[in-house]
């Protein structure tokens, strides 16, 4: 067993090391070097681009209130007008909604991307929004 004096000495040394870690000089992290120096040419694979333009999923996120249900109704009506082969999915699970980063409901998610939140869109507005993002 260590004498009390050595234990105190070890504890003081450990505290000093911890203090250095917390309050020591901060080292600057260099930005990772890029071989292109920011002059890279962006290329789009047409096969993937064409596939990503397909309307795969439409979700309305909400708590179950009248506004959320109205957005669901308007979204389904817009999808019918566009002759889309799917209907909007209604999600009321708050954990799932929080996972999308939604701060105010109702929200509209198209292909797993939040496109509108906090407003009840009319069917015409939903159609216009879907056309604007490429559908």
pLDDT of 35 reads 44
CATH superfamily of 49-132: Glutaredoxin (3.40.30.10)
Structure confidence at residue 45 (pLDDT): 36
Q: Which comes out higher in pLDDT, residue 28 or 88?
A: 88
Q: 116: which strand partners?
A: 108
Rounded Cα distance, 51 and 71, in Å: 27
Q: How much is the average pLDDT of 81-105? A: 93
Domain residue limits, the chain = 49-132
pLDDT band of residue 99 (cuts 50, 70, 90) is very high
């Amino acid at each position: 067993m260590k004498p009390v004096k050595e234990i105190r000495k070890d504890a003081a040394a450990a505290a000093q090391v911890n203090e250095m870690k917390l309050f020591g000089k901060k080292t600057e992290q260099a930005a990772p070097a890029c071989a292109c120096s920011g002059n890279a040419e962006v290329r789009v694979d047409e096969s993937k681009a064409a596939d990503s333009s397909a309307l795969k999923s439409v979700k309305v996120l909400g708590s179950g209130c009248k506004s959320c249900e109205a957005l669901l109704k308007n979204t389904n009506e817009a999808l019918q007008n566009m002759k889309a082969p799917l209907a909007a999915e209604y999600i009321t699970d708050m954990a799932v909604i929080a996972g999308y980063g939604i701060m105010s409901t109702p929200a509209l998610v198209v292909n797993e991307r939040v496109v509108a939140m906090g407003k009840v869109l009319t069917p015409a507005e939903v159609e216009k929004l879907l056309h604007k993002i490429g559908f």
